[in-house]
Amino acid sequence: MSKYQYQPHWVKGEIVKEGLRGSEDRYKEISKFCNTYNRPFSVLDLGANFGYFSLRLAAEFDCHVTMIEKAKGITPQLQNLCVKNEANNVTLLKHNASIETLKALSKVEKFDVILAMSVIHYFEDANEAIKILRSMCDHLLIELPVSEDAAHPDVVKKIIVPDDAILLSRFRTHIDSVRPFYLMSSPRTEEIIEGWSGKYLGEFMKKESIFKMYSNFDEKYIIYANRLKSRGQKILRTKGKKHNSVEAKLARVLEKQAGRRLKFSYRDIIPGINLMTYFNMGGQYPTKQSILDDVSGYDEPHGDIRPWNIILTNDGAKIFDKKSQEFFNITKELDEYNLQKTIEWIENTKIQDDPIRPIDIRIENHYTTARKK
């Protein structure tokens, strides 16, 4: 058995191949926490190995799981396990994570839960890695190594457990050491997220939009505040609207920061990851063809079909951020044109593994002419 075969191979409720280390005890603790959610949620599994935790969560919960795994000998097998499990709510990224790439990821994605199971000591600065991971999730479930049993013992000795970390359990390893398992929570009500559109639209996004995120175990949505006429979405201050009290509070905060009265709108967040994350971080699963099959039949009025407005969700690739016909000149010809350009981009663009220097995207579109004057 390979020294990297830590986890069992899990296929539709059965272990078809044992691993060096049992995973059932840790999964019970993870699933116990995930049962707290009363809504669909998102998970990032950093150093997923053979995906035991990810594939079980994807099968047993209403969630989307993103797995990051770098090992050449593992990722083809992990991709095959995704296929065998018919895991439509799983994304696999073949990526060698570093401090810098985690920072880049934290600017464009926010997860409900991150799993970091005995992987943090592979970062040169484990404390900085923990800090970044906490910035991109509400809840970090992390198993820490102990210096006497782990690779890179000098790194392990420098790990500082945050004061607010909650020790959930301790688990025995395959080499008979015992590792602590912590919950580190950073629930957010006011969080700016740049998003991939910010990278590609640059100063336009900075001038026109402010993004804030709110989440708990029952709901998760993003706040938009801008000079535009809310782009056809609900105005937050309308009396009696959902989330009214929280939104009113956030509205006051945003207005104070901006120094002006703003239009507000909100949108529930769909669990998943952006297509641009998939293309910039070594996307392996689902396949490009599967993504093309999902988006090519889109025929609803939209007004802004572009690659960064596609999310890999619990139910395949979906086009989001639909514009309102009240404020935009949306035509069938415009949507057909932009959809075809987006399909061609997916077909012709090579997947890379460098979120720090993202793919240079040049898609001719009519976004500016779609907006009503």
Q: Report residue 35: phi and psi, to 5°.
A: -65, -15
Q: Which of 349, 208, 338, 211 is nearest to 278 (CA)?
A: 349
C-alpha–C-alpha distance, residues 246 and 236, integer Å: 10
Question: Is the model more confident about 91 or about 325?
Answer: 91
Confidence category of residue 103, pLDDT binned at 50, 70, 90? very high
C-alpha–C-alpha distance, residues 287 and 285, integer Å: 5
Confidence category of residue 33, pLDDT binned at 50, 70, 90? very high
Q: For residues 111-136, give the mean pLDDT.
A: 94
| 146 in Cβ contact with 178 (< 8 Å) | yes
Beta bridge partners of 316: 313
**CATH 3.40.50.150 describes domain 9-185:** yes
> Can you spell out the DSSP letters for 94-129?
E----HHHHHHHHTT--EEEEEEES-GGGSSSHHHH
Confidence category of residue 224, pLDDT binned at 50, 70, 90? low
Query: Whole-prediction pTM value?
Result: 0.85
Average pLDDT value over all residues in the chain: 82
C-alpha–C-alpha distance, residues 336 and 365, integer Å: 11
Q: What is the pLDDT of residues 331-353, one digit of tens each?
A: 888 899 999 999 999 999 999 98
Question: Is the model more confident about 20 or about 200?
Answer: 20
Q: What is the pLDDT of residues 269-278, one digit of tens each?
A: 889 999 999 9
